[in-house]
Each structure stands twice: as structure tokens, then as C-alpha cells.
Structure 1
Amino acid sequence: MQLVEVSTPAHAREFLEFPPRVIYAHDPNYIRPLDQDVNAVFDPAKNKLLRNGECQRWLLLNHAGQTIGRVAAFINREAAFPAEPEPSAPDSADQAPASSTKGIFRKMGGMGFFECIDDQAAANVLLDACRDWLAARGIEGMDGPINFGDRDKWWGVLTQNFGSPIYGASYNPAYYEPLLRTYGFQTFYKQVTYSRSVAGELHPSIMKRAERIAHDPRYEFRHMRRREWRKYAADFRDVYNKAWVKHGVKPMSEEASVKIMKSMLGILDEKLVWFGYYDKQPISFFISLPEINEVLRRFNGKLGWWQKIQFKYHQLRKTVKTMFGVVFGVVPEHQRKGVEAAMVYESALVIQKPGGLPYTHTVLNWIGDFNPKMMSVVELLGATPWREHHTLRYYFDRTRPFERHPVID
């Protein structure tokens, strides 16, 4: 077997073409990711992590020169080598949750875009390449398979429910998990994807809380208006920073929130993007999008002018029947009061209206088992586990005791 670094345009094309040609050639559930999405991960002009990070891709060839595997390794230096805190700065109560998780990625690298024939020796060559490359740069372990970017794309190995993937989700043959575990990877955390019928009813106790909140005049819940998208970008940023920064997440900038909201404008249905307000101040959001893989499966990874025309056709015909719950957030002072249920209740009044929207069920973005409180919330809202991925971790020092991701408050 020959390991080849991706260093030419021909190598980069083969990195894209190998999986559909070999691994998934006869898999009816496979939906090829958009080439432009994959390429963007390795483009310094589009992936900000490459400003202070590093990555390397490889192809694995057999004795006949045919590709039998691919993989990438990467370092996010900001996470792997975080700045030491000022020793004189006292810890405050609201900073405590961040400190409990901040160090878990110290000197950890990433492995991703793993695709391989069902052969342990071939898998070992690919994973050894990642290990050696990372170790030479001061890294002590690797998480994978993950993305060199946000967790909403290609994160974790699929372990349960091998049906067609939702947009951005990892998809792989069932034999990938044993290949990785045999090498020595262990579960760092489980990722549970939930599903809920649009017509499903809330539990009576939850419905009572939802109705109480919804009828409190200090609360208001409404879906976004496309023409006011900049206002909703600001509201999204406000809630996001209050809800997640205490868990060690980097605060979102105004530029980032505008970029995120702007990127959704071409595909969003404004009646699926909901915000909650208390005394006119933003306190929550629930952002869902049409599940575009129901359309993209026809495009074989391409999104040129012809595919964009076809995509618009399907939008106008309302052929997509699934909503994808991208992100959900409530500011801390309004959590556990029924705000989550009230948003679902208010949105259901619009979505379930006869002759209204075409959607029949919702698939929610994955929730890590390190966040049992959020898992309890979505289960109370009538969602049930639908699919499971695992984020795996491998320590280069094989005598090091394994630690799972800590539970967050």
C-alpha cells in the first residue's frame, strides 16, 4: 500500500471522487456531500481555522495504484494550545462551567473525512499517518471522525440508523465503527439525533406550561420576517452569547451572526425560524430549515447554475417534507420556565394550520450525551431518539487513563 499526500488538483479531485465511486457505489441511502462544502474546509480563504491551524490530507493506494482510502488530520491551535489564564484573575461563579470543559481539548488534534475499504490493515495505515503527523506537532491524541470546522457538519461516526443522511451529517458503512475501535478509539461522547412528528402533541403538563407562557403578555413569540433579517441576526447573537458562552464557547461576533443569517436566506422558510421575547428583549430562538438533502440527493455533489434552477423549482413546489432543527437556545434566566414548550406550541399553530406548510416531521440537530438537560427538554417536547453517532477519541500514550467528555451544567 502507498500513502500519498494530497498536493495536486488531481489528488484533490480524487479525494472527492473516491467515496462515491468505491465505498458507496451500490448504497441507495448515500447522498454525496456538495463538493464545494468539502473543498471549503481545506481552503484557507474560506476556513478561518486555517489562519492559525494546519491540516493534511492523504490518499491510500493499493498495489495496482487504485485508491482504497482517504483521511485528513488537523490541528485547531486555539483549542489545542489555549492561552494560560492570568493567575491573578479570580474565578467567578458564572465562569465556572467554562473552566470545567476548557481543558478537555488541550493538545488534542482531529481526524476526519475517513473513508476506507473494509480492511483493518488499510485503516491502520491511514490512522497511523494521522497519529504520526499530529504527534510531530506536539499533539497527544485525536478526536474523530470530525470536521475541521463547526460541529454541524461531518461530526462523529454513524452507529445507529443507516438511512439517508440529513444535510451535513456524517454517513458511513456500518463497518467503520469496528475499524476505528479495533485501532483503539473509544467513545468520547454519544451524539443523539431526535425526531418529532409535526402533528405530534405536547405532553399535557408541558402543554399547560406552554399555554401559560404563551398567554403572558410580557412574552411574545414570532417567526422571522426575511426583510428584517439583520435585526434577527442581532437577536440571534444576543441570545446565543448569553446561553452558551458560560459553557466555554467563544462569544459570537456581529460579523459572524450576520454571516450565518445571510447564509441561510437562500434556503430558509421564514415560518420555521422563531424567536421569543420578554418585555421586547430577545430571550430565545428555535431555528429550523427545510431538509435540503431531499433535493441535493439528485445533484451528485454539484451545485452549478442548472442545479440551482432545479433547487428553486423544488422550493416553489414545496417538495421537501422534513424540517431540520438546526439550533435551539434560551437565555439562562428564562430556562426551565416553559419557554421551550411555548415556542414549539406557538410555531405549531402556524405549521400545523390546514393547507399551510408542507412539512410532516422534524429532525433535530444532534445533542451530545454530555448535555442531559437538553436531552430531557427535547424528550418532554415529544421528540424521540432517531439516529446515533459517536465522537471517538484516541490517546497516543496507550497507558493514559481514558476520560469521557464531562457533563455540562
Structure 2
Amino acid sequence: MKVIPVVTKESISEFLNFPKLLFVNDKNYIRPLDEDIESVFDLKKNKFFKAGECERFIFKNEENRIIGKIAVFINKRYKQNQPTGGFGFFDCINNQDTADFIFDFAKTWLQERGMEAMDGPINFGERDKFWGLLIEGFSEPLYAMNYNPPYYKSLFENYGFQIFFNQLCFGRKIHDPVADNFLEMHQRISRNENITAKPLQLKSLEKFAQDFTEVYNKAWASHGEGKQLSETQTIKMFKTLKPIINEHISWFVYENEKPIAMWMNIPDLNQWIKFFNGKFGLVQKVLFLIIKKLRKNKKMVGLVFGIVPEWQRKGIDGFMIWEGTKHFREATDFEDYEMQWVGDFNPKMIKIAESLETKVTRKLATYRYLFDRTKEFKRQVSL
């Protein structure tokens, strides 16, 4: 088997195109945007290169046909019990020997750099993109979510990988009944004249970005692996999202104009970009605007839900959810709601999802492989 570093235009093209060839008969596969993947490997765009190292490779058989690919990386900010490297963007034919060769290659690469374990498939970046192996719910993926055929699970587990944590996506139909306790919460909180709910408005984008930052930092930054967001970071993020923000589906709650809760949702971009075969040049951007205007998007995606500590367990969640739901049922065409994944180590967020009367729509897994096979394997600790 030939191992080829991905450094030339030809090898980059092969790296990007291989999944499309592999899943050509899979109706649920949606090719990610090439530029989203390439940004991961761009030293100028990916801040993780400042504290890490990343290389990617394709693997070819004796007939010079590509049969697998992978990216391997170390990130000094990825703190674990033992030095742990990562790999992602793994794709492979349905052949255990081929998969074992690729996994062995990744293991050696990481051992040479002092690692004692490897996690995968994960991203050389944040957890909100390209993280985890799909093991249940083989439907169309959400934007920037990994997708793979069912046989990948066997390739991983036959090699010896174990699940470090599960990643759960929860969903529901927009017009399904809302739980009675949420309606009761809404009725009770509505009596408080100091509490108001407002949808995000593009004309006041920076203000809502500031409000988001305040709620997020109080609700999540001190929780587990959370981290503080700056207003500059959030404003930049909101401006990036501006072209796809739907003003009807993201909601904020205020006490005397002070932000105390937020529920951020966006349309699922994959419902539009699935027509572009991974490309997003000038032509595709024009087509995107046309499709966005003419083709109704039926799926919305939950990004973040947060309530400041002093208002938690007081009914604000029910108030906000019913205020928002009443509105976007009437003002939008969305039919399905799905949350970005929640780790099974986060019972607080799982409880929120379950309280919405959602059901698990798909499950991904973050796998870990300890190089010392005599060492005790431990799963991710609950928050």
C-alpha cells in the first residue's frame, strides 16, 4: 500500500473527492464544502497550528487507486489524562486490513511525537465541526457534521477502539405538542411584568451578540470544559452567521432589559448546499442566494441554549421555548428541529433536551485507543 502526503493540488483534490466516490450510492450523503475542510489545514486560518501539528495522507493500492485517507494531529491544548493525539477526516473502503493499516500509520505518527493514545474521528479544531463517528441515525447530516456508512463502526471496534463518549443529537417536529409543564411555566412567568422575550433582530446584531456573550459566559463558561467568550469573538461569529440568520427562530429573555436567557437556532445549511457538490465559488454563491429565496428550508438547528444561574430551575426555559415556538410556528416553514450534539458526559444539557420532549435522532461516538493495551480504559467523566 502506498502512503502519499497530501501536499500537491492533485493529492488535495483526491483527498476531497474520495468520499463522494465512496458514497456514490448513498442517498443520505451530503458532501461538505471543500473550503470548510481546507480551512482546517490552512496555517493562516486555523489557530490550532500555533499549539499543534497536523498532516494528512491518502492511501493507494497496487492499482494506484485511492482506498483510504486520514488527517493526524497533536494539539497541546487538548488536555487529557495521558498525552493524547487525534485523527479525523478518516474514510476507507469496507476492508478491515486497509483500515488497520491506516490506524497503525496514525498510531506510529503520534507515538513518534510522544503521544500515548489517540482519539478519533475528531477535528483539528473546535468540537462544533467534523467531530465523531456516526453509529446510529443514518439520515442526512447537519451542516459540518461527520457522516459515514454503518460499517465504519466495525472497522474501529475491530481494531480495538473504545467509545470515550457518545454524542447525542435530539430532535422533534416543530408542530408536535409542547409539554404541559412548559406551558405552565410560561403562564406563571408571563405574570412577571419585568420579564420579556424578544427574537434576534439583524438591525441590532451587535447588541444581541453582546447579550449572548453575557448569558453564555454566566451559564456555560464555568461549567466543565467551558471557556469565556469575548464580545469581539461573539460579534465576529454573529457577523459570519448574518447571511443565514433567521430573525424568527433565535430568542432572548430579559429581566428589566438585562439578558438572562438565550436560545440560538439557525436553518440547516445542508438543505441548501447539498446541491453544490462541495463547491462554493462565485457561481455557487449566486445560486445559494436564489435557492435560499426560492426553496423552503424545513429544518432548523439548535446551536446553544443557556440561562444565567440565578434564573435556572425557575421556569424561564418553558417561558422562552413557548414564546419562540408560538412565533416561528406561524412565521416560518420549518417542520423539523434538531439540536447539535450533546455529549453523554453532560447530563445538564441532556435533561434540557429531554424536557423538550425530543427524541434521540442520531448518535455519534468519539473513540479512544490506548497505545499501552494493558492500561485501564476510562470513559469521559460526567460534568
**TM-score interval w.r.t. the shorter chain?**
over 0.9
Residue 198 (structure 1) aligns with: 174
Name stretches of at least 5 consecutive residues in structure 2 with no aligned partner.
none
Structure-2 separation of matches of 1:185 and 1:364: 27
Residue 255 (structure 2) aligns with: 278
Q: Is the 8 A contact 1:79 1:105 kept in 2?
A: no
Q: Secondary structure at the match of 1:188?
A: strand
Residue 134 (structure 1) aligns with: 110
* Distance of aligned partners of 1:225 and 1:52 in 2 relative to their CA distance in 1, 3 Å threshold: same
Residue 14 (structure 2) aligns with: 14
Residue 84 (structure 1) aligns with: none
Q: Secondary structure at the match of 2:369?
A: strand
**One-letter amino acid matched to 1:260:** M
**One-letter amino acid matched to 1:206:** F
Deviation at 1:114, TM superposition (A): 0.4
Q: Is the 8 A contact 1:71 1:112 kept in 2?
A: yes
Residue 260 (structure 1) aligns with: 237
* Distance of aligned partners of 1:305 and 1:324 in 2 relative to their CA distance in 1, 3 Å threshold: same
Q: CA RMSD in A?
A: 1.4
Deviation at 1:108, TM superposition (A): 1.4
Residue 333 (structure 1) aligns with: 310
Deviation at 1:279, TM superposition (A): 2.8
Residue 316 (structure 1) aligns with: 293
More divergent stretch after superposition (105-114 vs 139-148): 105-114
Matched, 1:154 2:165: no
Residue 221 (structure 1) aligns with: 197
Q: Is the 8 A contact 1:185 1:393 kept in 2?
A: yes
**% of aligned pairs identical?**
39
Matched, 1:35 2:34: yes
**One-letter amino acid matched to 1:297:** K
**One-letter amino acid matched to 1:267:** I
More divergent stretch after superposition (108-117 vs 192-201): 192-201
Structure-1 separation of matches of 2:36 and 2:190: 39
Structure-2 separation of matches of 1:395 and 1:340: 41
Q: Secondary structure at the match of 1:78?
A: coil
* Distance of aligned partners of 1:70 and 1:183 in 2 relative to their CA distance in 1, 3 Å threshold: same
Question: Of 361, 371, 375, which residue of structure 1 is paired with 2:350?
Answer: 375
Residue 363 (structure 1) aligns with: 338
Structure-2 separation of matches of 1:34 and 1:334: 40
* Distance of aligned partners of 1:20 and 1:41 in 2 relative to their CA distance in 1, 3 Å threshold: same
Residue 360 (structure 2) aligns with: 385
Matched, 1:407 2:382: yes
Structure-1 separation of matches of 2:106 and 2:205: 42
Q: What whole-Å deviation, never above 9, does each CA across 1:226-271 have from its counterpart, x for those lacking one?
A: 0111111111111121122222322112321122111100111011
Structure-1 separation of matches of 2:111 and 2:214: 39
Name stretches of at least 5 consecutive residues in structure 1 with no aligned partner.
81-103
Structure-2 separation of matches of 1:28 and 1:318: 19
Q: Is the 8 A contact 1:202 1:380 kept in 2?
A: no
* Count of aligned pairs between the two proteins: 382
**One-letter amino acid matched to 1:401:** E
**One-letter amino acid matched to 2:358:** A
Q: What whole-Å deviation, never above 9, does each CA across 1:37-62 have from its counterpart, x for those lacking one?
A: 00000001111111221111011110
Structure-2 separation of matches of 1:140 and 1:279: 52
Q: Is the 8 A contact 2:82 2:117 kept in 1?
A: no
Deviation at 1:318, TM superposition (A): 4.9
* Distance of aligned partners of 1:182 and 1:376 in 2 relative to their CA distance in 1, 3 Å threshold: same
Q: Secondary structure at the match of 2:30?
A: coil
Q: Is the 8 A contact 1:189 1:368 kept in 2?
A: yes
Q: Secondary structure at the match of 1:398?
A: coil
Q: What whole-Å deviation, never above 9, does each CA across 1:59-112 have from its counterpart, x for those lacking one?
A: 1110111100000111111224xxxxxxxxxxxxxxxxxxxxxxx365111110
**One-letter amino acid matched to 1:378:** A
Q: Is the 8 A contact 1:221 1:277 kept in 2?
A: yes
Structure-2 separation of matches of 1:176 and 1:208: 45
Report runs of 4+ in structure 1 exceeding 4 Å deviation. Answer: none
TM-score (norm 2): 0.96
Residue 232 (structure 1) aligns with: 208
Q: Is the 8 A contact 1:188 1:403 kept in 2?
A: yes
Deviation at 1:288, TM superposition (A): 0.8
Deviation at 1:344, TM superposition (A): 1.0
Structure-2 separation of matches of 1:47 and 1:299: 24
Structure-1 separation of matches of 2:55 and 2:169: 30
Residue 5 (structure 2) aligns with: 5
Question: Of 93, 96, 107, which residue of structure 2 is paired with 1:117?
Answer: 93
Residue 279 (structure 2) aligns with: 302
Alignment of 1:343-354 (within 5 A): 343-353=320-330
Question: Of 165, 168, 175, which residue of structure 2 is paired with 1:189?
Answer: 165
Q: Is the 8 A contact 2:182 2:322 kept in 1?
A: no
Residue 68 (structure 1) aligns with: 67
Structure-1 separation of matches of 2:228 and 2:119: 23
Structure-2 separation of matches of 1:143 and 1:213: 44
Q: What whole-Å deviation, never above 9, does each CA across 1:105-126 have from its counterpart, x for those lacking one?
A: 6511111000000111111111
